[in-house]
Structure 1
Amino acid sequence: MPIRVLSPASPEAGPSRRRLPPSASVQLGQGDNDIDDDDDDIVEEEEGWTKETFVNRSLSKNDPAIIPQLRQVVDKLKEAIGRIEEGLDVAKETAMALEDSKQDEPSITEVENTFFRALNQRELLKIKIEVLEEMSTRLRGNEEFGNIEKSFAELADPREKAYMAKSQRAKYKNSKEYVDFRQALWEINHETACPPVSQWLEKGDDDVSDDDDFDMGGQTQNYRCPITLMLYKEATTSTKCGHNYSKAAIEDLIESTRKAKRQSKCPVTGCSVPLSKADLKPNPSLQKRADDFERRQQRREDEREDGDDTIAIEEDDDYE
């Protein structure tokens, strides 16, 4: 990613006006009779930045626009990460729909590969952000960069190459998003806990033994509010601890403790993080999964009841 920081205080920054001699007027579509020898009539051409005309210069914290412009780049990269994470949610929902239509639907592999690419892009953007923030810190410490684009590449390229050289298992084994992806698919057609996600990931030659490394998975998703013990209604998540609740239940709990002049805390066992209504945010994705879970549970129950009826009829026939 090319990094170009322009300072309005420098002679190189911003568009400039280049004075052209009369001989250049023909190239601009001007007739010979339109040009006088007087300097006042010399044609001026608006000239802005191009890749060819850009000149790198030494940068330091004494350039007032440098650090703010680096911050602007960081903010843009964070916006891009937000869009990527929205795409991860879409990919997961697509894979879940395919799994619901047919267990182990082959096209899920294509969706999973798209999911992997999105995770890669997000990680590469995080590396760029890390490098830009590091460069900002070094500028504040009076370090200068003679060529900021080259300096950025020297810092970012090795980190990006090191990440991309990792195996699937090393990249995604402990990724919360990928674990959630696999668990969401598993629970559609299974009632047991999801196996460790490593079973779906290729292992590289340099990966440590599974026996010696932490492996995420083996969990059963709980869609019940810790307060009501019922399935979520308007699922709401704490921005402080990440725990989930039904909206009305957690808001009532916070309000009741406030009236009692006590501090509200997360009701999940083992968590005592202070909570206020400002710490809560809606979680429509979780609510949708809870609704889908309820629908699947009802479908399985209906199938079991249908099976019992069939057995009862067969028994009656045998008796007769």
Structure 2
Amino acid sequence: MSLSSVQSTLSTLKSCQTDIEACMDMVSDVALGIVEAQGMDNSQALKKLEEMIMECSRLDREINCFVESVDEMTAQVRNEPPEAMVHLRNSVKEHFTELMAGVTDAELQRHSKVISFKDNVRKYAMHAGQTAAENQEELDEDIAVTQSQTNFTCPLTQVEMVNPVKNKKCNHYYDREAILEMIKARHKNKKKFRCPKVGCGNTDVQESDLELDLVMKRMIQNHKRQTGKT
């Protein structure tokens, strides 16, 4: 076993975390669908989905612990004689076991996607309740539509967003593809990208500041269905 092959394997393993996060987003989206159709009444189904997202959190943490174990153990044998590599597997296994023994449920609960899952369910339940109340009171439809169109418009494309992302720093929304393209273009020219929302003082938008907002995405999809858009 060579160190180069170890690093290649780690790189492949790290790429799996992107798939895990995508899976967690799918679980959150299913939960929002249940809330939309049944409200918070189907608590058993929501509980099972929460258990699923916690399992994803644990798997993500296992990968992090394994990568950390490999990095630390390979660093110790990097300048050692080749025969030291013979014991690398056992060293990594032992260190990984130690790290995982210290992982608690509270730590898994702090995963950003787990926090997002709970927040999304709570926010969408509130939104669904407000929407039902508005329908019951028969609020002026034109005002509601106009307001929705304004809220759902990307400040970059000036059209309704498809995959809305929220900036954690300034709380403004953009369409994911548009904002990432602009950030990439500005960074390529070694320049910062300013939030395009009029009046915003955020002068340095980073990709790491952005998070997919599944609640907003579902609201946009519902708005399209209600207005007959495709």
**TM-score scaled to structure 2, two decimals?**
0.63
Residues 31 and 46 in structure 2, CA contact (< 8 A), matched pair in contact too = yes
| Aligned residue number for residue 202 of structure 2 | 271
Distance 1:127 1:247, change over 3 A: closer
1:172-217 CA-partner distances (Å, limit 9, x unpaired): 1x3211121112211222049xxxxxxxxxxxxxxxxxxxxxxxxx
Within 5 A, what are the aligned runs for 1:101-116? Answer: 101-104=37-40, 105=42, 106-116=44-54
Match of 1:245 among 174, 195, 208: 174
Match of 1:149 among 73, 85, 89: 89
Distance 1:246 1:95, change over 3 A: closer
| Aligned residue number for residue 302 of structure 1 | none
Instruction: Note the C-alpha offset of 1:80.
Output: 2.6
Instruction: Note the C-alpha offset of 1:236.
Output: 6.3
Q: Take 1:112 and 1:127, find their aligned partners in 2: how far apart are those partners?
A: 22
Residues 236 and 244 in structure 1, CA contact (< 8 A), matched pair in contact too = yes
Match of 1:169 among 81, 106, 111: 106
Identity of aligned residues (%): 11
**Amino acid in structure 2 at the alignment position of 1:73:** T
**Amino acid in structure 2 at the alignment position of 1:273:** D
Residues 95 and 108 in structure 1, CA contact (< 8 A), matched pair in contact too = yes
Residues 162 and 217 in structure 2, CA contact (< 8 A), matched pair in contact too = no
Within 5 A, what are the aligned runs for 1:1-320? Answer: 5=1, 66-104=2-40, 105=42, 106-142=44-80, 144-163=84-103, 166=104, 168-172=105-109, 174-191=110-127, 227=155, 233-235=161-163, 244-246=173-175, 263=191, 265-267=193-195, 269-273=200-204, 286=213, 289-294=215-220
Q: Take 1:191 and 1:182, find their aligned partners in 2: how far apart are those partners?
A: 14
Q: Take 1:146 and 1:252, find their aligned partners in 2: how far apart are those partners?
A: 46
| Greater fraction of residues in helix | 2
Q: Take 1:262 and 1:74, find their aligned partners in 2: how far apart are those partners?
A: 30
**Amino acid in structure 2 at the alignment position of 1:265:** F
Instruction: Note the C-alpha offset of 1:116.
Output: 0.4
Distance 1:226 1:141, change over 3 A: farther
Q: Say which structure, 1 or 2, has more relative contact order (CA 8 Å, 6+ apart).
A: 2
1:60-106 CA-partner distances (Å, limit 9, x unpaired): xxxxxx11111122023213322222221221111111111112212
Residues 99 and 185 in structure 1, CA contact (< 8 A), matched pair in contact too = yes
- Considering only aligned residues, what root-mean-square deviation do their CA atoms show, in Å? 4.3
Residues 193 and 204 in structure 2, CA contact (< 8 A), matched pair in contact too = yes
User: Secondary structure at 1:190's aligned position in 2?
Assistant: helix
Distance 1:132 1:185, change over 3 A: same
**Amino acid in structure 2 at the alignment position of 1:293:** M
Distance 1:117 1:157, change over 3 A: same
Larger Rg: 1
Distance 1:83 1:246, change over 3 A: closer
| Aligned residue number for residue 131 of structure 2 | none
